[in-house]
C-alpha cells in the first residue's frame, strides 16, 4: 500500500502540472473520441477554465490519469503537453518525451434527456464527477453594470463567448428539479446551486423556490444540497436556507487579506459590508448549519501562501471548510494573461490544508458535501491517505488472490 501511495503522490504532482500547463492537440484527434455522445463534453455553465476558448470544438472536461486521479482538461495552444492517439489509446506526451496513457469520463445518461419544457438537462446541471452535480442558475452578474466585477471572474465573459446556444441562460426551478431528479436516479448524491451576483432578496426567494422544486421531483426532504450565496447584510436570512432543506452553505471569501479583498472584489466590498462582514456571515452560518457544514473558497494564488494558510487556519478553527483551489487565470477576466503560482506552490498549500483539516477532525464526508467539485488536490490527498481509489481495491484483490494461491499450493 505504501508503494501505491508513493505512485499516487507522483500522480498528484503530475495532475497539478497538467492543470496549470494545459494541453494542446490537433483538433482532428477528437475524431477518435466520441465527445458529446459516448464521452462527457464540457458545458460552459459558469466559468471557462480553458486558457483558450473553443466555441465550435467539443472538448472533455477532465482527464483520467493512469492511477485514477482526475485533472481538468485545460486547452492551451502554447502548452508543451500534447494529446496524441496511437490508434488504440490516448496519451499525453510531455516536453521530455514521457508518454502518459490517459482516459476520459463517460457521458452521464441524463445528458441526453430534456426537461418538460424542452431544455437540455446537460445545460441545467453539469456532472462534476464522483456523484456531484453543479447548477449555475445564471451567468449574469449584476456587478458588471457597475464596473465592479471581481477581477479574477469571467462568468459574464463566458456568457458572451458561448451564449445561449450552449445553454448559458437563466435556469428555472422546475427545470432544476426535473434535472436533479434524473441525475439522482442515475446515482448522483450531492449538488451545488450557484450563479452570478444578484440582489439579496431575489437570491433568497430563488433558492427557496429551487429547493422546493428539487424536493418535489426527487421525493427527498434532505437532498444534500449546497447553496452558494453572497454574504447577506441581514444574517438572519441564512436560517431560511437551512429550513428549506439545504444541508450545507457556501459563502466564498475569495481572498483572506482584507486589502486584497477590497482590490480584487470591489463590488462585494461595497455591497456586502466588506471582508470582515463576510467572516461574520461565515461564523453565523456555522451556528445555523453546524461545524463542517459551511464552506468558503479562496482563489489559490491571488495572495501570499502565508496569508492564504492564515485564512484557512482561522476559518477552519471555527468549523468552516476553507479551501484554496488552484487559480486558473480565466479568459475574459480582468486578470487574463496573468500567471498562477507554480504547481508545487498549490501542492504545498493543499498538503498543509489537509493537515489542518485532520487536526480539527474534518471527515471525507464533510469536505465532499461542502464542495462543488471533488476534484481539488485536498480531496485527492484524502483519497490517497484513506484508500478511496479503485487502485487500492485492485491491490487488495490481488493480495487476497496471492494468499489464496499460496494456501492452495501448500
Asked if the model's pLDDT at residue 144 lies above 80, the reply is: no
Average pLDDT over residues 61-76: 97
Whether the predicted pLDDT of 158 surpasses 90: no
96-135 pLDDT, tens digit per residue, is: 999 999 999 999 999 999 999 999 999 999 999 999 999 9
Residue 66 backbone dihedrals phi, psi, to 5 degrees = -55, -35
What is the predicted pLDDT for the residue at 318?
A: 98
The string of pLDDT tens digits covering residues 183-238 is 999 999 999 999 887 766 788 999 999 999 999 999 999 999 999 999 999 999 99
What is the band of 143 on the pLDDT scale with cuts at 50, 70, 90?
A: confident
How many angstroms separate the CA atoms of 265 and 360, rounded? Answer: 30
Alpha-carbon distance values, 3 to 7, 16, 46 (Å): 6, 20, 39
Mean pLDDT value across residues 64-79:
97
Which three cell numbers, joined as nine digits, stand for 288?
Answer: 445555523
Residues 6+ apart with CB under 8 A from 130: 368, 374
Its pTM stands at 0.94
- Mean pLDDT across 360-376: 97
Q: Beta strand pairing status for 90-93 and 99-102?
A: antiparallel
Confidence of residue 159 (pLDDT cuts 50, 70, 90): confident
The answer to whether the beta carbons of residues 312 and 298 sit under 8 Å apart is yes
Q: How confident is the model at residue 83 (pLDDT cuts 50, 70, 90)?
A: very high
Confidence category of residue 402, pLDDT binned at 50, 70, 90 = low
How far apart are the C-alpha atoms of 197 and 261, rounded to whole Å?
16
- Give the residue from 390, 297, 334 showing the smallest Cα distance to 67: 390
The arithmetic mean of pLDDT across residues 328-345, rounded, is 95
For the chain, the straight-line distance linking the first and the last C-alpha, in angstroms and rounded, comes to: 26
Domain 109-386: give its CATH code.
3.20.20.70
Looking at per-residue pLDDT, the higher value among 28 and 319 belongs to 319
Does residue 8 surpass a pLDDT of 80?
yes
- CA 95, CA 92: separation in Å to the nearest integer? 10
393: confidence class by pLDDT, cuts 50, 70, 90: confident
Q: Which residues are within 8 A (CB) of 375 and not within 5 positions of it... i.e. 6 or more apart?
A: 62, 70, 71, 72, 128, 129
Q: Is 238 helix (H, G, I), strand (E, B) or coil?
A: helix
% of the chain with per-residue pLDDT over 90: 80
Sole residue written with cell 442515475: 186
**Per-residue model confidence (pLDDT) at position 401:** 59
Portions of the chain given CATH number 3.20.20.70: 109-386
Amino acid at each position: 500500500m505504501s508503494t501505491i501511495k508513493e505512485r499516487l503522490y507522483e500522480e498528484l504532482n503530475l495532475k497539478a502540472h497538467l492543470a496549470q500547463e494545459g494541453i494542446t492537440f490537433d483538433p482532428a484527434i477528437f475524431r477518435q473520441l466520441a465527445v458529446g455522445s459516448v464521452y462527457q463534453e464540457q458545458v460552459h455553465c459558469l466559468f471557462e477554465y480553458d486558457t483558450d476558448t473553443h466555441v465550435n470544438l467539443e472538448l472533455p472536461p477532465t482527464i483520467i490519469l493512469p492511477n485514477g486521479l482526475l485533472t481538468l482538461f485545460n486547452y492551451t495552444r502554447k502548452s508543451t503537453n500534447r494529446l496524441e492517439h496511437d490508434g488504440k489509446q490516448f496519451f499525453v506526451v510531455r516536453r521530455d518525451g514521457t508518454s502518459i496513457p490517459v482516459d476520459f469520463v463517460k457521458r452521464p445518461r441524463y445528458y441526453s434527456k430534456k426537461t418538460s419544457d424542452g431544455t437540455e438537462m446537460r445545460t441545467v446541471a453539469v456532472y462534476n464527477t464522483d456523484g456531484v452535480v453543479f447548477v449555475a442558475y445564471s451567468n449574469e452578474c449584476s456587478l458588471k453594470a457597475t464596473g465592479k466585477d471581481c477581477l479574477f471572474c469571467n462568468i459574464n465573459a463566458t456568457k458572451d463567448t458561448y451564449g445561449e446556444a450552449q445553454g448559458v441562460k437563466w435556469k428555472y426551478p422546475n427545470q432544476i428539479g426535473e434535472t436533479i431528479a434524473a441525475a439522482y436516479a442515475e446515482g448522483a448524491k450531492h449538488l451545488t446551486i450557484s450563479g452570478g451576483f444578484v440582489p439579496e432578496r431575489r437570491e433568497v426567494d430563488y433558492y427557496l423556490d429551487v429547493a422546493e422544486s428539487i424536493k418535489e421531483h426527487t421525493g427527498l426532504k434532505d437532498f444534500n444540497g449546497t447553496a452558494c450565496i453572497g454574504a447577506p447584510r441581514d444574517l438572519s436570512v441564512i436560517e431560511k436556507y437551512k429550513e428549506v432543506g439545504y444541508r450545507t452553505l457556501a459563502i466564498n471569501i475569495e481572498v483572506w487579506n482584507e486589502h486584497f479583498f477590497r482590490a480584487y472584489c470591489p463590488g462585494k466590498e461595497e455591497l456586502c459590508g466588506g471582508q470582515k462582514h463576510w467572516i461574520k456571515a461565515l461564523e453565523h452560518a456555522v451556528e445555523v448549519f453546524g461545524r463542517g457544514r459551511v464552506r468558503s473558497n479562496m482563489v489559490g494564488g491571488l495572495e501570499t501562501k502565508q496569508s492564504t494558510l492564515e485564512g484557512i487556519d482561522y476559518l477552519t478553527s471555527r468549523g468552516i471548510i476553507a479551501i484554496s483551489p488552484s487559480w486558473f487565470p480565466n479568459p475574459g477576466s480582468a486578470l487574463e494573461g496573468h500567471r498562477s503560482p507554480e504547481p508545487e506552490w498549490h501542492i504545498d498549500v493543499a498538503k498543509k490544508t489537509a493537515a489542518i483539516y485532520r487536526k480539527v477532525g474534518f471527515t471525507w464526508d464533510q469536505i465532499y458535501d461542502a464542495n462543488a467539485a471533488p476534484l481539488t488536490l485536498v480531496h485527492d490527498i484524502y483519497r490517497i491517505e484513506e484508500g478511496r481509489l479503485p487502485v487500492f481495491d485492485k491491490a487488495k484483490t490481488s493480495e487476497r488472490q496471492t494468499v489464496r494461491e499460496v494456501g492452495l499450493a501448500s
